[in-house]
Amino acid sequence: MKYISYFFIAIASALLVILLSLSSCSPNPKTTSQPPQTRQQTADTTVKIRNFKFEPANLAIAVGKTVQFINVDEEPHTATAMDGTFNSKALDTNQTWNYTATKPGTYPYICSVHPFMKGTLTVTNKKN
């Protein structure tokens, strides 16, 4: 009899976990939160994340310039430098994230959710 009560408690706990996880799902999520940003600064250029690609895939900017990443896909994406220089975290549909270049170099980056998505940010010393 003691084990039967454990069984029912386990079943009830599993159902509760399932109900709680399903309650957080929504077939039509609304983007109401503010997008994650490192700085509240106007962007000098934009990279669109569309159709599981970065557009443009290769971008050159000067030190001090800001690039804005905007996700126009239905899936979450990131802009994550391979060397850890920048990481947008997950951007939902229509969310943006700005990165201001601080030092020259070539920074290959990926979407950490979809690593086959690749881009390169080249930061130069000269001001454009």
How confident is the model over 74-92, as pLDDT tens digits? Answer: 999 999 999 999 999 999 9
How confident is the model over 22-47, as pLDDT tens digits? Answer: 555 545 444 434 444 444 568 899 99
Beta-carbon contacts of residue 59 (< 8 Å; ≥ 6 apart): 45, 47, 67, 119, 120, 121, 122
Q: Is beta strand 96-100 parallel, antiparallel or unpaired with respect to 66-71?
A: antiparallel
3-state secondary structure of 120: strand
Q: What are phi and psi of 14, to 5 degrees?
A: -65, -45
How confident is the model over 51-71, as pLDDT tens digits? Answer: 999 999 999 999 999 999 999
Q: Which of 117, 22, 121 is nearest to 73 (CA)?
A: 117
Beta-carbon contacts of residue 22 (< 8 Å; ≥ 6 apart): none
CATH top class, domain 45-124:
mainly beta
Could you state, in order of their start, the residue ranges of all structural domains in the chain? 45-124
Q: b/e per residue, 30-62, with b = 16+ CB within 10 A?
A: eeeeebeeeeeeebbeebebeeebbeeeebebe
The predicted model gives 10-22 an average pLDDT of 63
